[in-house]
Amino acid sequence: MRVVVLGAGEVGFHLAERLSRENQDVVIIESDPERADFASQQLDVLTVVGNGASLSILEKARVKDARMLLAVTSRDEVNLIACLAAKRLGVEYTVARISNPEYYSRGSVLSREQMGIDLMVNPERECARETFQLLKTPAFTDVSDFADGRVQLIGLKVKEGAPVAGRTIADLRAEFTRGYHYVTTAIRRDGETHIPTAESTIEAGDQIYLLAPTSEIPDVPPLAGYDRFQLKRVMIAGGSQEGLFLAELLEDNGIGCTILDRDRRRCLQLAEHLPRSLVLHADATDLELLEMEGVSGIDGFVAATGNDETNLLSSLLAKQAGAQNVISLIHKFEYMRLVPRVGIDASVSPRISAVNAILRYVRRGRVMTIASLTGIDAEAIEYGVEEHSPIAHHALRDVHFPKQGVVGTILRGDEIILPRGQDVLLPGDDVIVFAMPEAIPEIEKLFA
């Protein structure tokens, strides 16, 4: 399948890397010659230098032959114009990365429905939702929703003395068969990610990834050695769009919120928009100020300025001042792996949120949800089983499923099924699969 990616920034580069790895025919359009040259050297893609909103550049990239256009530059207007032009040229699917709320509000003359764009992705709002999920349970480093929120994929680190430490997957499966639906999909140990088997042992210090019904998620942290928790107060450093959207979520859920921002004008805007939040004109990298504002007594601290280095610094200062759950907003992908090494509890990225939302439209087969995880290359994908799918009507033990992938959960109507070898997948089932990148093309064929 031919896919044209407009923009070779963090989002575009990451999308092109994933798609080219899966042997898709990828073309990148990038206005910056140096960035385009870097992409062509690092990836197996064709690059075209120029403005993606230009018809001549789109024609040079042979957009007429493409099935999809993914417009993911940092400029909303360029993305919108490129999508409109691509539709006129016959591209079947168009996706636009959009940050301005005026462009995606329902009823707006510039909304997705009015403009005929298949998907508008707002990275900042998606990132705020993910941050809110992480704040509600400080044990988690990753949270992704599946099955319309009925199932969640979570990542957390196993503490010393935890009930699951030193136990094999088979032992835990036998113990939690009744009344629990936890499935361990991956274990990260010493910098390497493993898809576990029944004989795999979970050790203290492991980063593990679990699939579980959302209703049972509160029971997971105690198994990994964490206390139960209720979110009451949050401090946000930075009045960015992500910070604003997060504050709105906190207010809607009755959670106390304090926002710090060094821009007085932005503080006035935030105070007008957030009537139930405390907005302070202050610098979040001032340790004395953080201590004076009681950062040690809050339930969560989120660094959400527009600068990664400032976010990392304020997160470290908040941690030093005694903040219990510290989350840092990160834009650069290369910084994501740095976060756990320096002692910050979790990180979120609007760019990864955008990638997650876009990839589901690129996958073959019936894909409802897809989640990329911070710090590892693995993905969790929710597939629908069709009547003609090669995997349909077969027991799992009879399917040649890749070793670098695992069927995590089967959803059949309102039933959530822990997969066993004898289970047969039926048309209409939704299946959540966890896999390393090299296994995804083979898995997609099973659900195509």
We report the CATH number of the domain holding residue 63 as 3.40.50.720
One domain, residues 115 and 155: no
Burial of 30 (0-12, 13-18, 19+ CB in 10 A): buried
One domain, residues 145 and 210: yes
The answer for residues whose C-beta is within 8 angstroms of residue 385's C-beta and 6 or more apart is 366, 391, 392, 425, 426, 427, 428, 429, 430, 431, 447
Residue 276 lies in a domain: yes
Domain boundary among 192, 223, 254: 223
Can you read off the two tokens belonging to residue 65? 């032959």
Domain residue limits at 73: 2-121
DSSP 276-294: TSEEEE--TT-HHHHHHTT
Burial of 105 (0-12, 13-18, 19+ CB in 10 A): exposed
User: Where would I find the H helices in 100-227?
Assistant: 101-104, 112-115, 123-136, 169-175, 220-223
Residue 255 lies in a domain: yes
Question: What separation in angstroms does the CA of 47 have from each of 12, 52, 85, 359?
Answer: 12, 12, 19, 20
One domain, residues 392 and 331: no
What percentage of the chain's residues is helix, strand, coil (to nearest 5)? 35, 25, 35
DSSP 198-233: TT-EE-TT-EEEEEEEGGGGGGHHHHTT-------E
Residue 64 lies in a domain: yes
One domain, residues 308 and 368: no
Please tell me the distance from the alpha carbon of residue 47 to that of residue 271, in angstroms, as a whole number: 45
The residue with tokens 């403009």 is 115
Query: How open is the CA angle 35-40-41, to the nearest 5 degrees?
Result: 100
pLDDT the model gives residue 365? 47
Residue 348 lies in a domain: no
Residue 141 lies in a domain: yes
One domain, residues 400 and 305: no
One domain, residues 10 and 115: yes
pTM for the model stands at 0.73
Q: What is the pLDDT along the chain (448 residues), one digit of tens a residue?
A: 889 999 999 899 989 998 888 778 999 999 999 999 999 999 999 999 999 999 999 999 999 999 899 999 999 999 999 999 998 889 988 999 988 877 766 666 565 666 778 888 888 988 998 899 889 887 888 888 888 788 999 999 999 999 999 999 888 877 765 666 788 999 998 888 889 988 999 999 999 999 989 888 888 899 899 888 889 999 999 999 999 999 999 999 999 999 999 999 999 999 999 999 999 999 989 999 899 988 988 999 999 999 999 999 999 999 999 888 999 999 887 888 788 788 888 899 988 888 877 876 665 445 666 677 766 778 888 888 999 999 999 999 999 899 899 999 999 988 888 888 899 999 999 999 999 888 888 998 898 8
One domain, residues 200 and 244: no
One domain, residues 202 and 253: no
One domain, residues 217 and 259: no
The answer for residues whose C-beta is within 8 angstroms of residue 109's C-beta and 6 or more apart is none
Please tell me the distance from the alpha carbon of residue 81 to that of residue 422, in angstroms, as a whole number: 51
Residue 16 lies in a domain: yes
Residue 168 lies in a domain: yes
Indicate which CATH number applies to the domain containing 419: 3.30.70.1450
One domain, residues 391 and 367: yes
Can you read off the two tokens belonging to residue 95? 């996706």
Domain boundary among 342, 366, 386: 342
DSSP state letter for 178: T
One domain, residues 112 and 190: no
Can you read off the two tokens belonging to residue 108? 């707006």
Nearest to 299 by CA among 138, 102, 168: 138
Cβ atoms 226, 139 nearer than 8 A? yes
One domain, residues 6 and 115: yes
Domain boundary among 57, 86, 121: 121
Number of domains observed in the structure of the chain: 4
Provide the 10 A C-beta neighbour count for residue 45: 20
The residue with tokens 């955008």 is 354
Question: What separation in angstroms does the CA of 51 have from each of 59, 65, 121?
Answer: 12, 19, 21
Please tell me the distance from the alpha carbon of residue 133 to that of residue 201, in angstroms, as a whole number: 28
Q: For residue 405, give the amino acid letter.
A: G
The answer for residues whose C-beta is within 8 angstroms of residue 20's C-beta and 6 or more apart is 26, 43, 44, 45
Residue 100 lies in a domain: yes
For residue 279, what are the β-bridge partners? 259
pLDDT the model gives residue 431? 93
